[in-house]
Structure 1
Amino acid sequence: MGGEKFGFLIWLSWISCLLCFCYGYAPGDNYLINCGSLNKVTVTGRVFISDDLDSNFLTSPSEILAATSNSSSISDIYPTARIFTEISTYKFSITRGRHWIRLHFNPFQYQNFQMGSAKFSVSTQTHVLLSDFTVKSRIMKEYSLNVTTDQLVLTFTPSVNSFAFLNALEVVSVPDTLISGDPSIVDSHEKFQGLSSQALETVHRVNMGGLRLTPNLDTLSRTWELDSEFLLEKNLVKNVDNKIGSVRYIRGFATEETAPKRVYGTCARMNSAADPFSNVKVTWDFDVEPGFQYFLRFHFCDIVSNALNQLYFNLYVDSVLVVENLDLSLYLINNALGGAYYMDYVTRSANQTNRIRVAISRSTVHTDYPNAIMNGLEIMKMNNSKSQLSTGAFLPGGSSPTPKKSFGVIIGATVGSLLALVVLGGFFLRYKKRGQVQDGHSKTWIPLFINGTASYSSGTTNASKTTNTSYRIPFAAVKEATNGFDGNRAIGVGGFGNVYKGELQDGTKVAVKRGHPKSHQGLAEFTTEIEMLSQFRHRHLVSLIGYCDENNEMILVYEYMENGTLKSHLYGSGLPSLSWKQRLEICIGSARGLHYLHSGDSKPVIHRDVKSANILLDENLMAKVADFGLSKTGPELDQTHVSTAVKGSFGYLDPEYLRRQQLTEKSDVYSFGVVMFEVLCARPVINPTLIREKVNLAEWAMKWQKIGQLEKIIDKSLLGKIKPDSLRKFGETAAKCLADFGVDRPSMGDVLWNLEYALQLQEDVIGGGGGGDLEEDSSTIMIGELNPRFNDFSYGDTSVNVSVARDGRFEEEESSVDDLSSASIGNVFSQLVMKSDGR
């Protein structure tokens, strides 16, 4: 018996090896579920098992097994379904990493359940996949999700007076490298950061010039559609196929998992009709959902040229020239044609239309017979700032309300909204005394009801005819300032929307952040930003000039920061490297701004999204903290924390906040510690393309800090340019910021002092500047302690006076004249400047 078992294991291992050899990738997790059936079924060589309640996958208080006799094949997952009349979940134990989630739907009539009228939502622990979803015909919805826990939970939530259903489900591992790196942003030299953490939904996956590919012809079980239905003018294209034998996978480029040879071995080529002067433009037109950014992957393989450097062409996305004079020969090895290659792009902002057009055309650099090709294309929707892949009503984690409950919810929401507006109005009125006085008239914020929501305007007492009576900036003025939101003026993109460089009529340069049009997804961030920035002004906080909420727009207008983000000066943009002194001064400025926020007389303000992308630099590289959309008022003086849902940016989040959902100022301190190491090492805080121990910057840097060899991982441009004592003090400070528990972290005031000290160590101006003194000082003075030699130290900036308090913290007084001059605000909006009063 033992010999038979051993033989069976040998046979099973041989089969597994054979499968790995044939298919190239063996998924660690491979859950294939045939919903609503008690039997397993084999489809295209894959076995779908039953989701019977005994399987431990499904938890449902009320579910119904449904079946139809209208099936053309016994090997089919669509004749059965499981119907859910209440919230139900599928739970899977998985290995962390990127996975396919495929949901199969086939609406049919079962007893009193007409599945074509079902309305429901589907979500994971981190993302909303479908909201108020209704399906009218057979469809498969495919998602790519990076799961960061050991369990995946899929929740099906029926809408009011409705139900949910599912015919089949797939949860399958994919290589983490499949979706990675920093793709280029369309119409920009910038890179999109954080792709690996994005959830994606496959919208279109097209095989150009070839046949439709079914899952059994793809190592990752993908379906590739024909491109003919998307072509605008089919006569402009010639299909090239049967070149599969010419395709080669080159190490470091595309693999069998990127796309199968059946994609790279076919292509659509430009039909120039033997005319050497032909200038046709082959265009494909795709339906997409507006309000989202999209990830585009282009697949190329030169299977049409007879020699190198024959094929040059241009690539367009929505009439934007993405790549000019594309030469695939640049990506070949050993001067051989047929190398598989792909290029990734992300649309600049959330699509405002329901179309994406992709085109190829001839290049002007090659005068011979013109040609252009494309082998394949994938278009994937990216989750928005709310971690949604679908818009619509969604009840996360709650139960489906009955009609009575629904009515109560509506009444409660209405009353709650009114109360919130009253409270918010009172909040703004609190700052009446702190409003800036100009021309002898007092300004204050009061709420207005505009477009059915609360907007914020300035009230005026005895307003002069020569001054603006409202903080709101007309949409026409914002549009004129940005030249109609010209794409060439876009200087950034984020979850809230695009940022444009603008110029007001009086010549004032501004940065205009425009939320996604006709969407209220960012309403909370929009109002929070106005609320927070109306309270305070500081030379190291970006100033809000105004806002616009006309026509359901959400637009914020800030002072323009000439040198962009700190992040762009550290990596990814090709800008000149910053010197160590410049980096220290930027950290010091940022720390001053954060310390100011934390030092509120009644409550601190916690930024909650401290990162290098939210630290902006003006023309003199002076740092200013920006983006207060997630900020939150801190605990009362007699409280230790604020309990709140976790928000922030991946890689910068305070682990204690993540565990306990208890927010304190020390959460900002932790994030700032990550920024410090980012400044020192000039690399992303999360880089999944690196080996495991290097992926997380904070963990990697702390490892080297603990063994006293931090100099081995610093930015190469800084090698030999940082004095050891300055580096040691900087590293000690950053390490203290990253303490596991907030109580062990320094305050921002203490961090600021130590950064100032690190700067003085670098400039060697403490005491006599002797090496011995420096060594002694830097090794004995820890965070929170102040070198006695600093007592008489004064900043070079004459607008700031510093004195030392007994508890080791500092008091900073800034002249109001300097405060106003630091924000270049035109006369038209001069009343927007609100002086710091008691902060």
Structure 2
Amino acid sequence: MVNIYSCELLILIGSILCLVCVSLEYVPEDNYLIDCGSSTNSSVGDRVFVADQSYSDVLSTPHSISANTSSDSTSSTYDSALYQTAKIFNESSHYTFPIKKPGRHWIRLHFFPFVYRNYNLSMAKFSVSAQNFTLIREYRLESPPIVKEYSVNVTSGNLVLTFTPSVNSFAFINALEVFSLPDELIPAGARTISSIQGNYKNLWKQALETVERVNMGNQTVFPQNDTLWRLWVSDNEYLIHNNLVTFVSNVTAVNFTGGGPTENIAPSLVYGTATRLNSDSDPNINANVTWLFDVDPGFEYLVRFHFCDILSNPHPKLYFNVYIGSWLVYQNLDLLKLTFSLGAPYFMDVITRASDTRLLNVSVGPSNVGIPYPNAILNGLEIMKISNSEDSLDVLDSISSRSSEVKVIIVVGLTVGLFLVVVLAFVLFLLCRRRKLDHADPLKSEGHFPTSGGGNNRYFNGANIFSTSKFGPVIDPSVSRERVNLVDWALKSIRGGKLEEIVDPRLEGQIQPDSLKKFVEIAEKCLAECGVDRPSMGDVLWNLECSLQLQGNEERSGNNCQISTQFNRGNNFETRVSAREFSLGGGDDLDGVSMSKVFAQMVREEMR
């Protein structure tokens, strides 16, 4: 009788536990699980992936192929059944999922290549986007099987997932998941870890990609043991200096009561294991426990730390520091003070940026608050890439974005520099016009204007350029007789190979020889005896730009900075800025010239 009652009691307890487990299971309001290319449903744990023919209304494609393989050599953490079939797309195709609950949704893409007829899936190259976000671009599978996981905030009634084959290639997908997430899982934002501590970044409009999800304590947690079907890989392969740590496991010590994190944040199997600084053998140890991860440079990352004090009781109180790289994330972390209970889970989110490195290291280490002996633990860690300003999560777009930023900086720098030179020239030109009686008459009397019309203005261009380098007037009666006329003296110095004489002493040692040569060369051309031989204003501006670039030691093809005898229109500025954009007026007159249009056109041409 006793045995019978004992059996009945065990059955009752088991039933209650099952009901509790079922009640804790998360049921997403939006839940699309598709076994792509399959004609039958596939069971994976307690979930059913539906044959994609049942979702024919969500797929829009000009042409697709349902592929399958008889190979059973697939080894996957999820289930080999998902990787026996695939959907192949030769053209851009869209999955449009109706959304009931606005908010964060997970997108999981399952890839496993095999050979089907003429299609070798390992050779596929394609891009995938969701809403306006680029998830992957020009992607080719590296090492199968691959599960890529993304989080997108859906604010409309549909989530559109697009597969786009690259040129002369195709796209494929073995299985996909789209389901709504618990509201508490992804934060609205987090504080940033950088040179300016305490900044807050909003994540509402960003997409996220799961880069790493790690369980400390050297134990893997499989999807069937997670309420959100996540895989938590063991931390052992990421650890540096394994001899400094001890792996701890005490799952029964985890206590989810008290209004703290639920198992949707992380399961008890994550909070119930930990990697701990091994200070038992050396009470004076002064070292950090460090994990090293591969990341894509140029992106920001949301890093989530999971903590739970599961150490045996009694034990010395835990105080320790938390770091990302050399940045201090939390000093003197006291879990008991934060959770008010031993075994209570706690997590912490911060955002960091990987600027120029492909490695991100995370560490915990002893505090200096005077505890009996040093200690530090970590239970779990998640690293999520944040979409960039181009709404992309792909490293190719990150590189392109950074290149564009550098190019814009260079173009703006050149434009500003050229603008300053031209403005100075114009100011001097206006001053010269105001002093026309002092300047024009002596020049005319000496026969410098053998022609009339627009050529005269170009002659003044040369005179003004020389006055810029000398910081003096064109005609200066206060100097020696041979230097009264700056133009004559400058030309004589040039032809005598004495360029240094026409440079103001205040500029000595500051001008690059090639830059000065180019500067003087265009001035000399402006002073040609015949007006028709003098360069246009466009040529003047273009060659002043070349001089500026040479001064800045910028590399430029010699052909681009040459002034041919005939003033080759293929390289001059007037060809690049059409007559419809602006007009130099009759006779090359400067009146009415819109320099803002000139510079705007220069920037557009440089960007191309």
TM tier, shorter chain?
Answer: 0.5 to 0.7
1:330 maps to 2:334: no
Displacement of 1:277 = 0.6
**Residue among 255, 259, 262 paired with 1:255:** 262
SS in 2 for 1:190: coil
Checking the alignment, whether the CA contact within 8 Å between 1:309 and 1:329 is kept in structure 2 is no
CA gap of 1:369–1:51, structure 2 versus 1, over 3 A, is same
1:88 corresponds in structure 2 to: 93
Checking the alignment, whether the CA contact within 8 Å between 1:52 and 1:58 is kept in structure 2 is no
Quick one: higher RCO (CA 8 Å, sep 6+), 1 or 2? 2
Paired residue type of 2:168: N
Cα distance in 2 for partners of 1:262, 1:378 equals 15
Paired residue type of 2:372: D
Displacement of 1:275 = 1.5
Paired residue type of 2:288: K
Checking the alignment, whether the CA contact within 8 Å between 2:58 and 2:95 is kept in structure 1 is yes
2:212 corresponds in structure 1 to: 204
Displacement of 1:432 = 6.5
Across the two proteins, how many residue pairs are aligned to each other? Answer: 409
SS in 2 for 1:263: helix
Displacement of 1:367 = 3.5
RMSD of Structure 2 on Structure 1 (CA): 3.5
Cα distance in 1 for partners of 2:245, 2:311 equals 14
SS in 2 for 1:26: coil
Displacement of 1:464 = 4.5
Displacement of 1:249 = 2.2
2:459 corresponds in structure 1 to: none
Cα distance in 2 for partners of 1:191, 1:106 equals 41
Q: TM-score, with normalisation over the residues of structure 1?
A: 0.45
1:152 maps to 2:156: no
SS in 1 for 2:200: coil
Cα distance in 2 for partners of 1:90, 1:316 equals 41
Percent identical among aligned pairs is 47
Q: Quick check: which one's helix share is greater?
A: 2
SS in 1 for 2:86: strand
Displacement of 1:235 = 1.3
| 1:455-504 C-alpha deviation (Å, 9 max, x unpaired) | xxxxx95584699xxxxxxxxxxxxxxxxxxxxxxxxxxxxxxxxxxxxx
1:370 corresponds in structure 2 to: 374
Q: TM-score, with normalisation over the residues of structure 2?
A: 0.62
Checking the alignment, whether the CA contact within 8 Å between 2:254 and 2:308 is kept in structure 1 is yes
Checking the alignment, whether the CA contact within 8 Å between 2:274 and 2:378 is kept in structure 1 is yes
1:339 maps to 2:339: no
Displacement of 1:385 = 0.3
Displacement of 1:68 = 0.9
Q: Map of 1:604-623 to 2, 5 A cutoff?
A: none
2:202 corresponds in structure 1 to: 194
2:491 corresponds in structure 1 to: none
**Residue among 234, 237, 252 paired with 2:245:** 237
Displacement of 1:62 = 1.3
Displacement of 1:248 = 1.6
SS in 1 for 2:108: strand
Q: Map of 1:440-589 to 2, 5 A cutoff?
A: 440=427, 464=468
Cα distance in 2 for partners of 1:229, 1:309 equals 29
**Residue among 98, 101, 108 paired with 1:102:** 108
Displacement of 1:246 = 1.3
Checking the alignment, whether the CA contact within 8 Å between 2:319 and 2:371 is kept in structure 1 is no
Paired residue type of 2:32: Y
SS in 2 for 1:160: coil
Checking the alignment, whether the CA contact within 8 Å between 2:309 and 2:342 is kept in structure 1 is yes
1:289 maps to 2:296: yes
Give ranges in structure 2 of 5+ residues lacking alignment.
1-14, 399-403, 431-463, 472-551, 556-608
**Residue among 349, 356, 377 paired with 2:360:** 356
1:63 corresponds in structure 2 to: 64
SS in 2 for 1:211: coil
Cα distance in 2 for partners of 1:57, 1:118 equals 23
Checking the alignment, whether the CA contact within 8 Å between 2:240 and 2:291 is kept in structure 1 is yes
Displacement of 1:436 = 5.5
Checking the alignment, whether the CA contact within 8 Å between 2:72 and 2:80 is kept in structure 1 is no
2:84 corresponds in structure 1 to: 79
**Residue among 305, 311, 315 paired with 2:318:** 311
Checking the alignment, whether the CA contact within 8 Å between 1:90 and 1:154 is kept in structure 2 is yes
Displacement of 1:102 = 0.1
Displacement of 1:435 = 7.7
CA gap of 1:462–1:301, structure 2 versus 1, over 3 A, is farther
**Residue among 134, 138, 151 paired with 1:132:** 138
Checking the alignment, whether the CA contact within 8 Å between 2:218 and 2:236 is kept in structure 1 is no
Give ranges in structure 1 of 5+ residues lacking alignment.
1-13, 395-416, 444-459, 468-547, 552-839
Paired residue type of 2:130: T
Cα distance in 1 for partners of 2:215, 2:469 equals 65
Displacement of 1:120 = 0.2
Checking the alignment, whether the CA contact within 8 Å between 1:253 and 1:342 is kept in structure 2 is no
1:764 corresponds in structure 2 to: none
Displacement of 1:250 = 4.7
CA gap of 1:441–1:338, structure 2 versus 1, over 3 A, is farther
| 1:511-570 C-alpha deviation (Å, 9 max, x unpaired) | xxxxxxxxxxxxxxxxxxxxxxxxxxxxxxxxxxxxx9989xxxxxxxxxxxxxxxxxxx
Cα distance in 2 for partners of 1:393, 1:363 equals 41
SS in 2 for 1:248: coil
CA gap of 1:105–1:462, structure 2 versus 1, over 3 A, is farther
Checking the alignment, whether the CA contact within 8 Å between 2:220 and 2:233 is kept in structure 1 is yes
Displacement of 1:190 = 2.2
Give the number of the structure whose alpha-carbon radius of gyration is greater. Answer: 2
CA gap of 1:441–1:32, structure 2 versus 1, over 3 A, is farther
Q: Map of 1:381-460 to 2, 5 A cutoff?
A: 381-392=385-396, 437=424, 440=427
Cα distance in 1 for partners of 2:80, 2:197 equals 49
Cα distance in 2 for partners of 1:173, 1:92 equals 12
Cα distance in 1 for partners of 2:20, 2:162 equals 33
CA gap of 1:393–1:385, structure 2 versus 1, over 3 A, is closer
SS in 1 for 2:201: coil
**Residue among 219, 223, 237 paired with 2:227:** 219
Checking the alignment, whether the CA contact within 8 Å between 1:297 and 1:343 is kept in structure 2 is yes
Checking the alignment, whether the CA contact within 8 Å between 1:290 and 1:351 is kept in structure 2 is yes
1:169 maps to 2:170: no
CA gap of 1:434–1:51, structure 2 versus 1, over 3 A, is farther
CA gap of 1:361–1:440, structure 2 versus 1, over 3 A, is same
Displacement of 1:192 = 2.6
Cα distance in 1 for partners of 2:337, 2:199 equals 21
1:402 corresponds in structure 2 to: none
Cα distance in 2 for partners of 1:112, 1:371 equals 59
Cα distance in 2 for partners of 1:377, 1:340 equals 13
1:112 maps to 2:118: yes
Checking the alignment, whether the CA contact within 8 Å between 1:119 and 1:134 is kept in structure 2 is yes
Paired residue type of 1:223: L
1:275 maps to 2:282: yes
CA gap of 1:442–1:270, structure 2 versus 1, over 3 A, is farther
Cα distance in 1 for partners of 2:198, 2:176 equals 37
